[in-house]
Protein backbone atom coordinates (compact mmCIF):
# COMPACT_ATOMS: atom_id res chain seq x y z
CA UNK A 1 0.00 0.00 0.00
CA UNK A 2 1.14 3.52 -0.85
CA UNK A 3 0.62 6.33 1.65
CA UNK A 4 -0.12 9.55 -0.24
CA UNK A 5 0.26 12.65 1.93
CA UNK A 6 -1.63 15.64 0.57
CA UNK A 7 -3.49 13.22 -1.70
CA UNK A 8 -6.69 15.31 -1.71
CA UNK A 9 -4.92 18.33 -3.22
CA UNK A 10 -4.48 19.32 -6.83
CA UNK A 11 -1.54 17.14 -7.91
CA UNK A 12 -2.22 14.53 -5.23
CA UNK A 13 -5.78 13.80 -6.39
CA UNK A 14 -4.65 13.29 -10.00
CA UNK A 15 -1.87 10.99 -8.81
CA UNK A 16 -4.19 8.98 -6.55
CA UNK A 17 -6.45 8.51 -9.56
CA UNK A 18 -3.54 7.26 -11.68
CA UNK A 19 -2.37 4.95 -8.88
CA UNK A 20 -5.83 3.43 -8.45
CA UNK A 21 -6.20 3.00 -12.20
CA UNK A 22 -2.88 1.16 -12.21
CA UNK A 23 -4.21 -1.20 -9.53
CA UNK A 24 -2.29 0.11 -6.50
CA UNK A 25 -3.68 0.16 -2.97
CA UNK A 26 -3.65 3.73 -1.69
CA UNK A 27 -4.15 5.47 1.64
CA UNK A 28 -4.47 9.26 1.63
CA UNK A 29 -3.43 11.40 4.59
CA UNK A 30 -4.57 15.01 4.31
CA UNK A 31 -5.51 17.70 6.82
CA UNK A 32 -7.71 19.40 4.17
CA UNK A 33 -6.15 22.80 4.86
CA UNK A 34 -6.12 23.38 1.11
CA UNK A 35 -8.39 20.68 -0.28
CA UNK A 36 -11.98 19.53 -0.45
CA UNK A 37 -13.15 15.99 0.30
CA UNK A 38 -15.10 16.05 -2.95
CA UNK A 39 -11.85 15.57 -4.84
CA UNK A 40 -11.47 12.13 -3.27
CA UNK A 41 -15.15 11.25 -3.72
CA UNK A 42 -14.79 12.04 -7.39
CA UNK A 43 -11.58 10.05 -7.74
CA UNK A 44 -13.55 7.16 -6.26
CA UNK A 45 -16.37 7.63 -8.76
CA UNK A 46 -13.99 7.94 -11.71
CA UNK A 47 -12.03 4.81 -10.83
CA UNK A 48 -14.89 2.80 -9.40
CA UNK A 49 -12.70 2.14 -6.38
CA UNK A 50 -13.09 3.10 -2.77
CA UNK A 51 -10.57 5.78 -1.83
CA UNK A 52 -9.22 5.20 1.66
CA UNK A 53 -8.36 8.41 3.43
CA UNK A 54 -7.58 9.74 6.87
CA UNK A 55 -8.00 13.32 7.99
CA UNK A 56 -4.86 14.32 9.86
CA UNK A 57 -1.59 16.18 9.84
CA UNK A 58 1.82 14.92 8.75
CA UNK A 59 3.22 16.56 11.91
CA UNK A 60 1.14 14.27 14.14
CA UNK A 61 3.64 11.60 15.24
CA UNK A 62 1.17 9.38 17.04
CA UNK A 63 -1.21 9.38 14.11
CA UNK A 64 1.61 8.43 11.73
CA UNK A 65 2.79 5.60 13.98
CA UNK A 66 -0.77 4.30 14.02
CA UNK A 67 -1.11 4.49 10.25
CA UNK A 68 2.15 2.63 9.70
CA UNK A 69 1.36 -0.06 12.26
CA UNK A 70 -2.21 -0.65 11.09
CA UNK A 71 -1.61 -0.70 7.34
CA UNK A 72 0.86 -2.51 5.14
CA UNK A 73 2.46 0.63 3.78
CA UNK A 74 5.56 0.02 1.70
CA UNK A 75 6.13 3.47 0.23
CA UNK A 76 5.11 7.10 0.52
CA UNK A 77 4.35 9.78 -2.04
CA UNK A 78 4.70 13.03 -0.16
CA UNK A 79 2.72 15.99 -1.53
CA UNK A 80 1.55 17.55 1.75
CA UNK A 81 2.77 21.07 2.30
CA UNK A 82 2.04 24.74 1.81
CA UNK A 83 2.85 26.20 -1.60
CA UNK A 84 2.03 29.90 -1.91
CA UNK A 85 5.23 31.86 -2.52
CA UNK A 86 3.85 35.26 -1.39
CA UNK A 87 2.28 33.81 1.75
CA UNK A 88 5.59 32.14 2.60
CA UNK A 89 7.23 35.58 2.76
CA UNK A 90 4.54 36.70 5.25
CA UNK A 91 4.50 33.47 7.27
CA UNK A 92 7.92 31.84 6.99
CA UNK A 93 7.56 29.87 10.21
CA UNK A 94 4.33 28.24 9.05
CA UNK A 95 6.12 27.17 5.87
CA UNK A 96 9.15 25.75 7.65
CA UNK A 97 6.91 24.00 10.15
CA UNK A 98 4.62 22.39 7.55
CA UNK A 99 7.13 21.70 4.83
CA UNK A 100 10.38 21.04 6.67
CA UNK A 101 9.31 19.90 10.12
CA UNK A 102 6.37 18.02 8.58
CA UNK A 103 8.75 16.07 6.36
CA UNK A 104 11.07 15.37 9.30
CA UNK A 105 8.21 13.98 11.40
CA UNK A 106 7.09 11.89 8.43
CA UNK A 107 10.57 10.50 7.72
CA UNK A 108 11.11 9.68 11.40
CA UNK A 109 7.83 7.76 11.51
CA UNK A 110 8.76 5.98 8.26
CA UNK A 111 12.11 5.08 9.76
CA UNK A 112 10.49 3.67 12.91
CA UNK A 113 8.18 1.60 10.72
CA UNK A 114 11.00 0.44 8.42
CA UNK A 115 9.37 2.10 5.39
CA UNK A 116 12.17 3.74 3.45
CA UNK A 117 10.82 4.51 0.00
CA UNK A 118 9.60 8.05 -0.67
CA UNK A 119 8.77 10.25 -3.64
CA UNK A 120 9.05 13.92 -2.74
CA UNK A 121 7.36 16.92 -4.42
CA UNK A 122 10.04 19.47 -5.06
CA UNK A 123 9.87 22.40 -7.42
CA UNK A 124 11.74 24.19 -10.20
CA UNK A 125 11.83 27.08 -7.75
CA UNK A 126 14.97 25.43 -6.29
CA UNK A 127 16.91 26.65 -9.36
CA UNK A 128 16.33 30.29 -8.36
CA UNK A 129 17.12 32.51 -11.34
CA UNK A 130 18.98 30.08 -13.62
CA UNK A 131 22.02 31.29 -15.55
CA UNK A 132 20.62 29.66 -18.69
CA UNK A 133 17.74 27.57 -20.00
CA UNK A 134 16.85 24.75 -20.45
CA UNK A 135 17.59 23.78 -16.86
CA UNK A 136 19.33 20.49 -16.06
CA UNK A 137 19.20 18.75 -12.68
CA UNK A 138 22.89 19.47 -12.06
CA UNK A 139 22.41 23.25 -12.28
CA UNK A 140 23.19 25.17 -9.08
CA UNK A 141 20.30 25.60 -6.66
CA UNK A 142 19.26 28.75 -4.84
CA UNK A 143 16.18 29.80 -2.93
CA UNK A 144 14.66 33.23 -3.35
CA UNK A 145 11.82 32.95 -0.82
CA UNK A 146 10.90 30.87 2.26
CA UNK A 147 8.78 28.45 0.22
CA UNK A 148 11.69 27.72 -2.11
CA UNK A 149 14.04 27.48 0.86
CA UNK A 150 11.74 24.93 2.51
CA UNK A 151 11.93 22.73 -0.63
CA UNK A 152 15.67 23.08 -0.84
CA UNK A 153 16.10 22.26 2.86
CA UNK A 154 14.03 19.11 2.48
CA UNK A 155 16.03 18.06 -0.57
CA UNK A 156 19.23 18.44 1.44
CA UNK A 157 17.81 16.59 4.42
CA UNK A 158 16.79 13.71 2.15
CA UNK A 159 20.29 13.61 0.64
CA UNK A 160 21.82 13.35 4.13
CA UNK A 161 19.32 10.67 5.03
CA UNK A 162 20.35 8.41 2.15
CA UNK A 163 23.99 8.83 3.10
CA UNK A 164 23.26 7.90 6.71
CA UNK A 165 21.22 4.83 5.80
CA UNK A 166 21.50 3.34 2.30
CA UNK A 167 18.26 1.45 2.82
CA UNK A 168 16.43 4.66 1.89
CA UNK A 169 15.25 4.98 -1.71
CA UNK A 170 14.21 8.47 -2.67
CA UNK A 171 12.91 10.22 -5.77
CA UNK A 172 13.00 14.00 -5.73
CA UNK A 173 10.71 15.36 -8.43
CA UNK A 174 11.19 18.97 -9.44
CA UNK A 175 7.94 20.08 -11.04
CA UNK A 176 7.89 23.00 -13.42
CA UNK A 177 4.44 24.70 -13.78
CA UNK A 178 1.65 22.15 -13.27
CA UNK A 179 -1.62 23.08 -15.00
CA UNK A 180 -4.66 21.40 -16.55
CA UNK A 181 -7.11 18.93 -15.11
CA UNK A 182 -8.26 15.35 -15.57
CA UNK A 183 -10.01 15.16 -18.93
CA UNK A 184 -13.30 14.15 -17.31
CA UNK A 185 -13.51 17.70 -15.95
CA UNK A 186 -14.37 16.16 -12.56
CA UNK A 187 -11.17 17.00 -10.69
CA UNK A 188 -8.91 19.99 -11.08
CA UNK A 189 -7.22 22.89 -9.36
CA UNK A 190 -9.44 24.80 -6.94
CA UNK A 191 -7.48 27.69 -5.46
CA UNK A 192 -8.75 29.52 -2.38
CA UNK A 193 -9.53 33.17 -3.00
CA UNK A 194 -7.66 35.08 -5.66
CA UNK A 195 -5.45 32.67 -7.62
CA UNK A 196 -1.71 33.32 -7.37
CA UNK A 197 -0.92 31.31 -10.46
CA UNK A 198 -1.44 32.33 -14.04
CA UNK A 199 -3.62 29.56 -15.50
CA UNK A 200 -6.28 29.46 -12.74
CA UNK A 201 -6.49 33.27 -12.96
CA UNK A 202 -6.87 33.24 -16.75
CA UNK A 203 -9.51 30.56 -16.43
CA UNK A 204 -11.50 32.60 -13.89
CA UNK A 205 -11.36 35.63 -16.19
CA UNK A 206 -12.70 33.50 -19.06
CA UNK A 207 -15.64 32.23 -16.95
CA UNK A 208 -16.41 35.74 -15.70
CA UNK A 209 -15.36 35.35 -12.06
CA UNK A 210 -12.61 37.98 -12.50
CA UNK A 211 -12.60 40.96 -14.79
CA UNK A 212 -9.11 41.29 -16.06
CA UNK A 213 -5.77 39.52 -15.87
CA UNK A 214 -2.82 41.55 -14.63
CA UNK A 215 0.18 40.56 -16.73
CA UNK A 216 3.17 41.04 -14.47
CA UNK A 217 5.80 42.65 -16.64
CA UNK A 218 6.09 43.11 -20.42
CA UNK A 219 9.70 44.26 -20.38
CA UNK A 220 11.49 40.93 -19.89
CA UNK A 221 14.09 39.82 -22.38
CA UNK A 222 11.73 37.29 -23.98
CA UNK A 223 9.97 37.05 -27.35
CA UNK A 224 7.03 39.28 -26.35
CA UNK A 225 8.42 40.74 -23.11
CA UNK A 226 6.31 38.57 -20.77
CA UNK A 227 7.58 35.78 -18.52
CA UNK A 228 8.25 32.36 -20.04
CA UNK A 229 7.48 29.11 -18.19
CA UNK A 230 7.34 25.36 -18.75
CA UNK A 231 3.68 24.43 -18.26
CA UNK A 232 3.08 20.75 -17.71
CA UNK A 233 -0.19 18.83 -17.73
CA UNK A 234 -1.05 17.48 -14.27
CA UNK A 235 -1.89 14.08 -15.78
CA UNK A 236 1.64 13.84 -17.21
CA UNK A 237 2.96 14.83 -13.81
CA UNK A 238 0.88 12.12 -12.11
CA UNK A 239 2.28 9.53 -14.50
CA UNK A 240 5.79 10.71 -13.57
CA UNK A 241 5.10 9.79 -9.93
CA UNK A 242 4.15 6.25 -10.82
CA UNK A 243 7.29 5.85 -12.89
CA UNK A 244 9.53 7.42 -10.24
CA UNK A 245 8.07 5.11 -7.58
CA UNK A 246 8.43 2.07 -9.77
CA UNK A 247 12.06 3.01 -10.39
CA UNK A 248 12.67 2.91 -6.63
CA UNK A 249 11.56 -0.71 -6.49
CA UNK A 250 14.55 -1.52 -8.73
CA UNK A 251 17.14 1.06 -7.61
CA UNK A 252 18.46 2.35 -4.33
CA UNK A 253 19.85 5.82 -3.63
CA UNK A 254 18.41 9.27 -4.21
CA UNK A 255 17.38 10.34 -7.69
CA UNK A 256 16.42 13.81 -8.80
CA UNK A 257 14.27 14.44 -11.88
CA UNK A 258 12.93 17.51 -13.62
CA UNK A 259 9.32 17.03 -14.63
CA UNK A 260 8.62 19.51 -17.40
CA UNK A 261 7.96 19.46 -21.12
CA UNK A 262 11.12 21.32 -22.13
CA UNK A 263 9.04 23.97 -23.90
CA UNK A 264 8.69 27.55 -22.74
CA UNK A 265 5.54 29.62 -23.28
CA UNK A 266 5.03 33.29 -22.50
CA UNK A 267 2.11 34.73 -20.53
CA UNK A 268 0.60 35.99 -23.80
CA UNK A 269 1.03 32.54 -25.42
CA UNK A 270 -1.02 31.13 -22.53
CA UNK A 271 -3.70 33.81 -22.87
CA UNK A 272 -3.97 33.14 -26.59
CA UNK A 273 -4.12 29.36 -26.13
CA UNK A 274 -6.81 29.76 -23.48
CA UNK A 275 -8.87 32.04 -25.71
CA UNK A 276 -8.68 29.43 -28.45
CA UNK A 277 -9.63 26.56 -26.14
CA UNK A 278 -12.52 28.42 -24.52
CA UNK A 279 -13.79 30.58 -27.35
CA UNK A 280 -13.84 33.42 -24.78
CA UNK A 281 -11.91 36.67 -24.70
CA UNK A 282 -9.45 37.00 -21.83
CA UNK A 283 -9.04 40.68 -20.97
CA UNK A 284 -5.60 41.62 -19.75
CA UNK A 285 -3.58 44.67 -18.87
CA UNK A 286 0.12 45.13 -18.31
CA UNK A 287 1.41 45.78 -14.81
CA UNK A 288 4.91 46.06 -13.36
CA UNK A 289 6.93 42.91 -12.78
CA UNK A 290 5.96 40.80 -9.74
CA UNK A 291 8.75 40.89 -7.17
CA UNK A 292 10.84 37.73 -7.23
CA UNK A 293 9.73 36.65 -10.72
CA UNK A 294 12.28 35.57 -13.30
CA UNK A 295 12.26 36.05 -17.07
CA UNK A 296 12.31 32.42 -18.14
CA UNK A 297 12.28 28.97 -16.68
CA UNK A 298 11.98 25.73 -18.58
CA UNK A 299 13.29 22.23 -18.11
CA UNK A 300 15.67 19.96 -19.84
CA UNK A 301 13.59 16.82 -19.26
CA UNK A 302 16.12 14.44 -20.85
CA UNK A 303 17.16 12.81 -17.56
CA UNK A 304 13.61 11.68 -16.72
CA UNK A 305 13.26 10.33 -20.26
CA UNK A 306 16.56 8.45 -20.21
CA UNK A 307 16.24 7.02 -16.71
CA UNK A 308 12.50 6.65 -16.15
CA UNK A 309 11.31 6.51 -19.75
CA UNK A 310 8.99 9.41 -18.86
CA UNK A 311 8.00 12.06 -21.38
CA UNK A 312 5.22 14.61 -21.20
CA UNK A 313 2.54 13.74 -23.74
CA UNK A 314 0.13 16.65 -23.60
CA UNK A 315 0.63 20.02 -25.28
CA UNK A 316 -0.47 23.50 -24.25
CA UNK A 317 -3.68 23.20 -26.27
CA UNK A 318 -4.74 20.12 -24.28
CA UNK A 319 -3.68 21.75 -20.98
CA UNK A 320 -5.93 24.72 -21.70
CA UNK A 321 -8.85 22.64 -23.05
CA UNK A 322 -8.84 20.47 -19.91
CA UNK A 323 -8.57 23.48 -17.59
CA UNK A 324 -11.54 25.01 -19.37
CA UNK A 325 -13.63 21.82 -19.12
CA UNK A 326 -12.98 21.67 -15.36
CA UNK A 327 -13.74 25.38 -14.99
CA UNK A 328 -17.02 25.13 -16.91
CA UNK A 329 -18.23 22.08 -15.01
CA UNK A 330 -17.22 23.62 -11.68
CA UNK A 331 -17.46 27.40 -12.07
CA UNK A 332 -16.90 27.95 -8.35
CA UNK A 333 -14.60 24.98 -7.83
CA UNK A 334 -15.59 22.09 -5.57
CA UNK A 335 -17.37 24.19 -2.97
CA UNK A 336 -20.57 24.93 -4.84
CA UNK A 337 -20.72 22.14 -7.36
CA UNK A 338 -23.46 19.58 -6.73
CA UNK A 339 -21.58 16.36 -6.19
With binding defined as CB under 6 A, does residue 196 bind ligand WQD?
yes
Q: 164: burial class by Cβ within 10 Å (0-12, 13-18, 19+)? A: exposed
Of 182 and 210, nearer to ligand WQD (C-beta) is 210
Does residue 209 interact with ligand WQD by CB under 6 A?
no
Instruction: Write the binding mask 79 to 108 for ligand NAD: x where contact by CB under 6 A, - elsewhere.
Output: xxxxx--------------x---x------
We find the least distance from the C-beta atom of residue 247 to ligand NAD, in angstroms, to be 19
The distance of closest approach from Cβ of residue 166 to ligand NAD in the complex, given in angstroms and rounded to an integer, is 26
- Does 118 bind ligand NAD (CB under 6 A)? Our answer is no
The count of chain residues that interact with ligand NAD, using the rule CB under 6 A, is: 27
CB environment 194-207: b (16+ within 10 A), e (fewer): ebebbbbbbbbbbb
Per CB under 6 A, 38 contacts ligand WQD: no
Residue 170 region by backbone torsions, left for phi larger than 0, else alpha for psi between -120 and 50, else beta: beta
Judged by beta carbon distances under 5 to 8 A according to partner kind, the member of ligand WQD, ligand NAD, none in contact with residue 121 is: ligand NAD
3-state helix, strand, coil in the chain (%, to 5): 40, 20, 40
Query: CA 183, 186, 192, 195: dihedral to nearest 10 degrees?
Result: 20
Report CA-CA distances (Å) from 230 to 17, 62, 216, 268: 24, 40, 17, 14
- Chain residue at closest Cβ approach to ligand NAD: 9
Report the site for ligand NAD in 138-197 (rule: CB under 6 A). Answer: 175, 178
Residue environment code for 140-158, b if the CB has 16+ CB neighbours within 10 A, otherwise e: ebebbbbbbbbbbbbbeeb
CA 168 vs CA 111, 161, 242, 247: distances in Å = 9, 7, 18, 13
Q: What are phi and psi of 5, to 5 degrees?
A: -80, 140
H-run or E-run covering 160: helix 146-164
**227 part of the interface to ligand NAD, by CB under 6 A:** no
Nearest distance, CB of residue 228 and ligand WQD, angstroms: 7
Contact segment (CB under 6 A) with ligand WQD among 1-9, 97-105, 109-117, 207-215 equals 207-215
Is there binding between residue 85 and ligand WQD (CB under 6 A)?
Answer: yes
By rule CB under 6 A, what count of residues binds ligand WQD?
Answer: 18
Identified catalytic residue from 147, 220, 265, 284: 147
User: CB of residue 24 vs ligand WQD: minimum separation in angstroms?
Assistant: 25
Angle among Cα 305, 298, 102 to the nearest 5 degrees reads 80
Distances (CA, A) of 207 to 19, 132, 248, 333: 31, 36, 42, 12
Q: How many residues does the chain have?
A: 339
State the binding partner of 267 from ligand NAD, ligand WQD, none, CB within 5 to 8 A by kind. ligand WQD
Out of 3, 67, 82, 215, name the contact with ligand WQD by CB under 6 A: 215
Q: Cα separation of 68 and 74, whole Å?
A: 9
88 counts as binding ligand WQD under rule CB under 6 A: no
- Catalytic, 147? Answer yes
User: What's the CA gap between 244 and 232, in Å, rounded?
Assistant: 17
Min CB(201)–ligand WQD separation in Å: 4
Q: How far is the CB of 5 from ligand NAD (least distance, A)?
A: 6
Which active-site residues does the annotation give? 147
Residues that bind ligand NAD (CB under 6 A): 5-6, 8-12, 30-35, 57-59, 79-83, 98, 102, 121, 123, 175, 178
Amino acid sequence: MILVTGGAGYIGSHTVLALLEAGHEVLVLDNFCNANKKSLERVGALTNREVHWVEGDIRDEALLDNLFSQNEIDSVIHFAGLKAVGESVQKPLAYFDNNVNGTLVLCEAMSRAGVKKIVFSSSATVYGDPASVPIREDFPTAATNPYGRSKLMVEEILRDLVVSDPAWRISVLRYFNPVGAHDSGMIGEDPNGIPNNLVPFVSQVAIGRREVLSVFGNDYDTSDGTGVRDYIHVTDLAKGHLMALDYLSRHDGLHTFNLGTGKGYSVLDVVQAFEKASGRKVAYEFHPRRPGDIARCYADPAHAEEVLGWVAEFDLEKMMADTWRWQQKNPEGYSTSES
